[in-house]
Structures are given as structure tokens and as C-alpha cells.
């Protein structure tokens, strides 16, 4: 499973010490910005661009969590989210389809 998301066991262990380590912010973030996380193209893009790895190792998980709690992630994520450019690409792909 770690191979699938491009992580070593040591990286995963380190990530488990980050805030809110057990929470899946990627799915919540996608839903919040208007991306269908279950769409085939989304899943393929996420795998090819290691979006899960970026989320699991993200240094901004606490800020991400706070914005999720406040339901205003979509208005602020471009300022701090390391996946923001990937989300923009996914949103552009949706428009191009
Ligand atoms: S800020 Fe972005 S990359 Fe970091 S945990 Fe939240 S959604 Fe994932």
C-alpha cells in the first residue's frame, strides 16, 4: 500500500507524528473545492501525482484541519496547501472535458 502512494515505511512513521495524522484530508479537501474524489480520472490523477503522499506528509495539517472545521477551506487553501496546484489542474481537466 505504501508503494502505491510513493512512500517509504520511515516516511510513513514520521508522518504519523504530524497533527491529525489519522484523518483523510484529501477526500475532504477535494469535496470542499468541488472535485469528485471517486471519479475515475480523479483517482488516476491522484495516483500519478502522489496526492495522498503530499497530504499525509503535509506540514500544514493543523491549519488544514482548522479550515475544514470552519467550513472555509475552499477560500483559503491556495495560501498554504501543497496540493493546491494539483487541485487546480483537476478542476481545469473537469472544465476541458
Ligand atoms: S493542506 Fe492540502 S496537502 Fe495539506 S493536508 Fe490539507 S489538503 Fe492535504
**Domain parsing of the chain, residue ranges:** 9-96
Share of the chain above pLDDT 90, in %: 84
Is 30 touching ligand 1 by the criterion CB < 6 Å? no
* 7-54 tens-digit pLDDT: 999 999 999 999 898 899 999 999 999 999 999 999 999 999 999 999
* Burial class of residue 76, CB neighbours in 10 A (0-12, 13-18, 19+): middle
| Model pLDDT, residue 97 | 64
| Residue 28 alpha carbon, nearest atom of ligand 1 | 7
Mean pLDDT for the chain? 94
Region 49-75: mean pLDDT is 96
C-beta of 64 in contact with ligand 1 (< 6 A): yes
User: From atom 1 of ligand 1, which residue's Cα is the shortest distance away?
Assistant: 81
Amino acid at each position: 500500500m505504501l508503494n502505491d502512494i510513493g512512500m517509504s515505511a520511515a516516511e510513513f512513521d514520521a508522518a504519523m507524528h504530524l497533527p491529525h495524522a489519522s484523518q483523510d484530508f484529501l477526500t475532504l479537501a477535494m469535496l470542499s473545492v468541488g472535485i469528485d474524489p471517486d471519479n475515475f480520472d480523479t483517482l488516476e490523477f491522484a495516483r500519478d501525482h502522489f496526492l495522498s503522499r503530499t497530504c499525509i506528509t503535509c506540514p500544514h495539517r493543523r491549519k488544514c484541519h482548522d479550515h475544514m472545521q470552519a467550513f472555509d477551506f475552499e477560500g483559503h487553501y491556495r495560501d498554504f496547501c501543497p496540493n493546491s496546484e494539483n487541485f487546480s489542474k483537476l478542476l481545469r481537466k473537469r472544465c476541458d472535458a
